[in-house]
Amino acid sequence: MKTWISLTALLIGFSILSCRPPEGCQVLPILGNRDIQGMDTLYPTIPDFTFMNQDSQWVDNETFAGKIYVVDFFFISCPTICPKVKKQMLRVYQAFAAEPRLVLLSHTIDVRHDTVPRLKAYAEGLGIATDRWHLVTGAEDDIYQIAGNYFSVAKKDPSVPGGFDHSGRLILIDEQRHVRSFCDGTDAESVDRFMKDIQCLLDEN
Amino acid sequence: MAACQQPYSQGKALYESACGSCHMTDGTGLAGLIPPLSGSDLIRTRPDLLPCIIQNGMEGKLLVNGQEYDQVMAPVTGINAVEMANILNYIQSEWGDPGLFYSPDRIQQILSTCGSGPVNLGNTGAE
| Residues of chain A positioned with their CB less than 8 A from the CB of B24 | 83-84, 87
Whether A59 has a pLDDT exceeding 60, the answer reads yes
Q: Predicted confidence band at A204 (pLDDT cuts at 50, 70, 90)? A: confident
How far CA B25 is from CA of A82, A154, A184, B15, in Å, comes to 14, 25, 16, 8
Residues A105-109 have a mean pLDDT of 96
Higher pLDDT, A158 or A200: A200
Whether A16 has a pLDDT exceeding 60, the answer reads no
A165-176 pLDDT, tens digit each:
778 899 999 999
| Residues of chain B positioned with their CB less than 8 A from the CB of A79 | 21-22, 74
How much is the ipTM here? 0.81
Q: How many CA atoms lie within 13 A of A58 on its CB side?
A: 6
What CATH number did the domain enclosing A151 receive? 3.40.30.10
Whether A9 has a pLDDT exceeding 80, the answer reads no
Q: Residue A66's domain spans which residues?
A: 2-204
Yes or no, beta carbons of B30 and A127 under 8 Å apart: no
B21-65 pLDDT, tens digit each:
999 999 999 999 999 999 999 999 999 999 999 999 999 999 999
Q: Predicted confidence band at A24 (pLDDT cuts at 50, 70, 90)? A: confident
Predicted confidence at residue B1, as pLDDT, reads 41
Higher pLDDT, A154 or B78: B78
Give the chain B residue whose CA is nearest to the CA of A186.
B21
Nearest CA to A198 out of A63, A92, A90 is that of A92
Yes or no, beta carbons of A83 and B21 under 8 Å apart: yes
Count: domains in chain A:
1
Amino acid letter for position A32 = G
CA distance A68 to A171: 11
Residue A6 touches partner B, C-beta closer than 8 Å? no
CA distance B101 to A13: 54
Domain boundaries, chain B: 19-111
What superfamily in CATH does domain B19-111 come from?
Cytochrome c-like domain (1.10.760.10)
